[in-house]
Structure 1
């Protein structure tokens, strides 16, 4: 009888054969076969490896933490990478001053719970000093570069972890896991290194630094499945809730002090949730009844547009909006 099986055999029969092999092996004193790794296991293992490699190779790393879902997952991975010790680097938040209040409250609770050092770069400080000026559209997300680079220089960070994923935007799709930035914090696509297998080149000179993206290969759906599997807490705005909103540019904008409707934009109360938690003045909500992680997963699985494409007005400024910001030194 042939020992080979066809590819279309059922999982149940695979499990039965595997159990038989283990039993037979045990009878002869052989070691049991290791359990199969799921796709989430592989992604988690890769991310933990990258985080540990960066901490081993660099002197002053830091992690960008906004309280959004990707940075929350990143912080969870960092916590797991060094457990039972504490996370051995500070977290950095570039505060636009237009953040959702519930996200800032979540950020502060998390930092206190884990005993982390929080470094905050404030856009408002740079506006007050005259270095930056308010934009005509009121959006502050494009103004985050200067506070970020100032925080990196002031604290002499030589590696900065970010939660960027390649599925978010075409500018991020071609990003390396370790992205070299020059003395001005800028990204030059011609000065990036090949990354073969799991080998990451962190070599840099004085004044340069590296952005590290451990979850580059994750998708939005992977993020939510991992949140479900591990039981990670998120700010409540990621789940369906009632909120006063108005329609602009094909998105539902929240009503707030920094996000006010025009006279021709009626205010409605909608059941919505957020797929990303950015600047309140440029981040849109989506109509949704998904109030649990499982419901969000089903919703995301059926979506045909990324969260940034669906809800971030600042990425619609031009076709190369994200690319331009990356070249200037942001993400």
Structure 2
């Protein structure tokens, strides 16, 4: 190569580019905000998000705490993973309980037994009480049309509400974190990832997941076209019968609204093949809380949900 010939720069692969973008977002928030927090449930997207955050600041400790809104209907396997990850990385975890709000009469149980929609008030009150000014979530644009509208930095007003008309442009990966007192910003480092990207990254990075994401035998019953886990949260009822099936979970909320899919995928490679062949989004196929109306997710986001 002569002095006048341009040097060729190595091109990043697809997963490398997504990782680099997410790491940049975490570091940008660390430099721009005073009290960020990461939503962490022990689900696969929050696990990947925590992995990226730890990578962004290594070998230094993670400069953020974690937050989980516990519905009381969570899968035991996921809660066990959550607590183990917190202990392993010596992190601080804030847990706010939906059951506590029900016991105090602030919230009332829904007739359908689903508690995911009840997370909004505990979440927003915890954000205000702890004065969190940036809250990381694992939402991705490919999951649902309301999430497809949202920017990486999503401004929320003093009531934690989202107004799609206040979306800010994010050209050239320039993120605007300005907010008035009482407002905060929701941050989505995985915005541009797909479900397949997430699984391929998990495989590449050898990230451990709760076994609920792989095929296993489970007692389930059929409701509204989905296989739900039997439990004391409100199922089965009436003529709904329990049967043991080989299933796995594509996404995990709580037992009252998250459906399993029939599957024999017991390895990462098998899951990736299964996802690549799917024509349904994970939420569209397995989340009852998104099927309440055409605008269910957008309505909840306007109220303060993720």
Structure 1 length-normalised TM:
0.90
**Cα distance between partner residues in 2 of 1:32 and 1:189:** 44
**Cα distance between partner residues in 1 of 2:46 and 2:177:** 22
Residue 184 of structure 2 corresponds to: 209
Query: What is the alpha-carbon root mean square deviation over aligned residues?
Result: 1.5
Residue 151 of structure 2 corresponds to: 176
Q: Do 1:178 and 1:210's aligned partners in 2 also have CA atoms closer than 8 Å?
A: yes
Residue pairs, 1:1-331, within 5 angstroms: 25=1, 33-331=8-306
Deviation, 1:36, is: 2.6
User: 1:46-65 deviations in whole A, cap 9, x for unaligned?
Assistant: 01101110110000000000
Deviation, 1:265, is: 1.5
**Cα distance between partner residues in 1 of 2:165 and 2:298:** 14
Aligned residues: 306
User: 1:211-234 deviations in whole A, cap 9, x for unaligned?
Assistant: 000110000000000000000011
Residues 43-52 or 257-266, more deviating: 257-266
Residue 16 of structure 1 corresponds to: none
Deviation, 1:263, is: 3.0
Residue ranges of structure 1 left out of the alignment (5+ in a row): 1-24
**Cα distance between partner residues in 2 of 1:89 and 1:152:** 14
Residue ranges of structure 2 left out of the alignment (5+ in a row): none
Q: Do 1:181 and 1:209's aligned partners in 2 also have CA atoms closer than 8 Å?
A: yes
Q: Do 2:40 and 2:47's aligned partners in 1 also have CA atoms closer than 8 Å?
A: yes
Deviation, 1:302, is: 0.3
**Cα distance between partner residues in 2 of 1:281 and 1:258:** 7
The secondary structure found in structure 2 opposite 1:167 is coil
**Cα distance between partner residues in 2 of 1:44 and 1:230:** 11
